[in-house]
Amino acid sequence: MDFDQVVRGRHSVRDFDGRPVPEKDIRAIVEEAGLAPSSANEQPWRVYVARGDVAEKIRIAHEKADMAGKSGHADVPVFHRMDYGPQARRNMDGFGTQIGSYSARAALGSREKARMGADALAQVDSFSAMALSNGRLFNAGTFVYLTLQQLAPWSLLDLGAFEQTLALAAKNLGYDSIVAYEFIRYPEEVKPVLGIPNDELLVMGMGIGHATDARINDVHMRRMPVDEYLTIRG
Ligand SMILES: Cc1cc2nc3c(=O)[nH]c(=O)nc-3n(C[C@H](O)[C@H](O)[C@H](O)COP(=O)(O)O)c2cc1C
- Asked if 178 and 140 touch (Cβ cutoff 8 Å), the reply is yes
Q: How many Å lie between the centroid of ligand 1 and the Cα of residue 119?
A: 31
* CA-proximal residue: ligand 1, atom 7 (nearest): 180
Question: Is 177 close to ligand 1, i.e. is its CB under 6 Å away?
Answer: no
- Kindly indicate the confidence band of residue 110, based on its pLDDT and cuts at 50, 70 and 90: very high
Judge whether 114 lies within some domain. Answer: no
Total count of domains within the chain: 1
Residue 149 domain flag: yes
CATH number of the domain where residue 41 is located: 3.40.109.10
Q: Atom 20, ligand 1: which residue's CA is nearest?
A: 221
8 in contact with ligand 1, CB cutoff 6 A: no
How far is 185 from 173, CA to CA, in rounded Å? Answer: 28
Query: Length of the chain in residues, anyone?
Result: 234
Domain presence at residue 118: no
Torsions phi, psi of 183, nearest 5?
Answer: -70, -20
Å from CA of 98 to ligand 1 middle = 13
Question: For 12-52, how does the pLDDT look when each residue is reduced to its tens digit (9 = 90+)?
Answer: 999 999 999 999 999 999 999 999 999 999 999 999 999 99
Per-residue buried b or exposed e for 96-124, using 16+ beta carbons within 10 Å of the residue's own CB: eeebeebbbbbbbbeebbeeeeeeeeeeb
Q: Comparing 27-31, 78-82, 176-180, 194-198, which segment has the lowest mean pLDDT?
A: 78-82
Examine residue 94 and state whether it is found in any structural domain, yes or no. no
Please, are residues 184 and 204 in contact by the beta-carbon 8 Å criterion? yes
Question: 126-167 pLDDT, tens per residue?
Answer: 889 999 999 999 999 999 999 999 999 999 999 999 999 999
**Those residues with Cβ within 8 angstroms of residue 216's Cβ, 6 or more apart along the chain or in another chain:** 14, 15, 99, 102, 106, 107, 129, 130, 133
**Position in ligand 1 atom list of the atom nearest CA 220:** 26
Give the range of the structural domain holding residue 179, as residue numbers without chain letter: 13-80+136-216
Compute, in angstroms, the gap from residue 95 CA to the centroid of ligand 1: 10
Q: Reduce the DSSP state of residue 149 to 3 states and report it.
A: coil
Q: Which of 138, 179, 220 to mutate to test the pocket of ligand 1 (most atoms within 8 A of CB)?
A: 179
Q: Phi/psi class of residue 120: alpha, beta or left (left: φ > 0; alpha: ψ in -120 to 50)?
A: alpha
Whether this model's pTM surpasses 0.85: yes
